[in-house]
């Protein structure tokens, strides 16, 4: 819109000398709004509303995009955290495996070997004493009461010779 007011410039030479200097100058009249037609006013109001609605929609879409970006960042950081945790677990597992292998490959010292030998020796002596005690308790069981397999085979052969018409069991 154009301002229909004219700008007035006043210089000190234009002011008559008989006018006291402390008298205020007249102010410009306030701008007069031109009377527009109601259709134009309605169109202006409609355009203002559209602009306001557009701003609100833009704010909403920016807010949505910001939320989506935040969610994407959160999911990315979560994925990164999971990857880091998985790598740490794998590293710990490999370290544990390495430690286990080191323990298996570790060479025993003489002192450790002597301890193991003494344990085995004590176990052998204990087992031998138990066997001796059992043999003393069961001296009558040292001879088998039934003939062994060799005796049975000899008896079967003798019986087969006597009864040639019989066949050997399968």
Q: Any idea how long the chain is?
A: 170
Band (pLDDT 50/70/90 cuts) for residue 2 is very low
Beta carbons within 8 Å of 4's beta carbon, 6+ residues apart: 31, 32, 34
Cβ contact 31:3 at 8 Å: yes
User: What's the CA dihedral at 153, 157, 159, 163 to 10 degrees?
Assistant: 150
The pLDDT of residue 119: 94
pLDDT > 60? residue 20: no
Residue 86 belongs to a domain:
yes
Which whole number is the average pLDDT over 29-34? 57
Provide the number of structural domains found in the chain: 1
Residue 151 belongs to a domain:
no
Residue 77 belongs to a domain:
yes
Residue 148 belongs to a domain:
no
The pLDDT of residue 160: 79
pLDDT > 80? residue 6: no
Q: Is the whole-model pTM more than 0.75?
A: no
Q: Could you read off the pLDDT of 34-91 as tens digits, one per residue?
A: 566 888 999 999 999 999 999 999 999 999 999 999 999 999 999 999 999 999 999 8
The pLDDT of residue 137: 86
Q: Which residue has the higher pLDDT, 151 or 66?
A: 66
Q: Could you read off the pLDDT of 95-144 as tens digits, one per residue?
A: 888 887 777 666 778 888 889 899 999 999 999 999 899 888 887 765 65
Q: Which residue has the higher pLDDT, 7 or 112?
A: 112
Residue 161 belongs to a domain:
no
Residue 92 belongs to a domain:
yes
Residue 136 belongs to a domain:
no
Domain with 56 in it: 35-107
Residue 162 belongs to a domain:
no
């Amino acid at each position: 819109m154009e301002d229909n007011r004219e700008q007035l410039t006043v210089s000190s030479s234009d002011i008559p000398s008989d006018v006291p200097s402390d008298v205020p100058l007249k102010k410009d009249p306030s701008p007069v709004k031109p009377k527009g037609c109601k259709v134009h006013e309605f169109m202006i109001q409609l355009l203002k509303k559209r602009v306001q609605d557009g701003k609100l929609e833009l704010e909403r879409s920016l807010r949505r995009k910001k939320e989506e970006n935040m969610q994407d960042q959160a999911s990315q950081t979560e994925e990164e955290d999971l990857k880091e945790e998985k790598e740490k677990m794998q590293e710990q597992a490999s370290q544990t495996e390495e430690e286990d292998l080191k323990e298996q490959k570790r060479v025993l010292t003489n002192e450790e070997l002597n301890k193991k030998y003494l344990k085995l020796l004590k176990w052998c002596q204990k087992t031998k004493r138990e066997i001796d005690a059992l043999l003393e308790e069961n001296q009558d069981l040292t001879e088998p009461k039934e003939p062994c397999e060799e005796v049975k085979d000899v008896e079967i052969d003798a019986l087969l010779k006597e009864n040639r018409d019989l066949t050997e069991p399968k």
